[in-house]
Amino acid sequence: MNFSVQIKVMPLRELLDPQGKAVMGGLQNLGIKTIQDVRIGKNIQLQIEATTPEEAKKIAENASTKLLANPVMEYFEITLL
Amino acid sequence: MNFSVQIKVMPLRELLDPQGKAVMGGLQNLGIKTIQDVRIGKNIQLQIEATTPEEAKKIAENASTKLLANPVMEYFEITLL
């Protein structure tokens, strides 16, 4: 069976997010002043061939720790769609 | 009130996603062969000051169309957390 899995990779909360800060500056220059914080991460969608949802999740977790997320700077969340 | 809004910005389904293709190649080199497709987009988290959830959503939509997403290559989805 084919499973659609979504992985959210975000910068750790303890760390500054310079990309987010830059975007917030851009938004304020555009006159959007009610936005107080911006954090930018990655959203990765995988199509995984597996027999059970649990297996698909495990494959996604393996891929995240091995390649998709850098644990020094990022955390990740896996959702089965 | 402060609202937490999440914006998912993904490459349009009709378009190739070279970044995703590269990551898929990397995963296969690592021996993870059950992943059949990878698409990579952005995940943006905003803290918005607004009086109602509807207003917060509108501000996020405005920010997305004006700055965060490029409609020629991307679509976006807004979720209130």
Interface of B with A in 5-24 (CB under 8 A): 8-10, 20, 23
pLDDT tens-digit series, residues A23-54? 999 999 999 999 999 999 999 999 999 999 99
Which has the closest alpha carbon to B75: B7, B27, B16? Answer: B7
| Shortest CA gap B59–chain A (Å) | 8
> What is the rounded distance in angstroms from the CA atom of residue A36 to the CA atom of residue B54?
17
CB contact under 8 A, A38 and B45: yes
d(CA B25, CA B30): 9
Percent of chain B residues past pLDDT 70, beyond the cut: 100
Domain ranges of chain B: 2-80
Judged by a CB distance cut-off of 8 A, whether residue B49 touches chain A is: yes
Closest chain B residue to A35, measured at CA: B48
Closest A-chain CA to B77: A43
* Inter-chain touch B34–A59, beta carbons under 8 Å: yes
Put simply, the answer to whether A39 touches B37 (Cβ < 8 Å) is no
ipTM of the complex in this document: 0.89
pTM: 0.91
pLDDT digits (tens, 9 = 90+) for B51-72: 999 999 999 999 999 999 999 9
Edge-to-edge strands of the sheet including A2-11?
A74-80, A2-11, A35-49, B35-49, B2-11, B74-80
CA distances from B51 to A17, A25, A31, B1 (A): 27, 22, 18, 6
Give me the total of CB pairs closer than 8 Å, taking one residue from chain A and one from chain B.
103
CB atoms within 10 A of CB B21: 14
> What letter does residue A19 receive in the DSSP assignment?
H
In angstroms, rounded to a whole number, what is the distance separating the alpha carbons of residues A78 and A66?
Answer: 14
CATH architecture of A2-80: 2-Layer Sandwich (3.30)
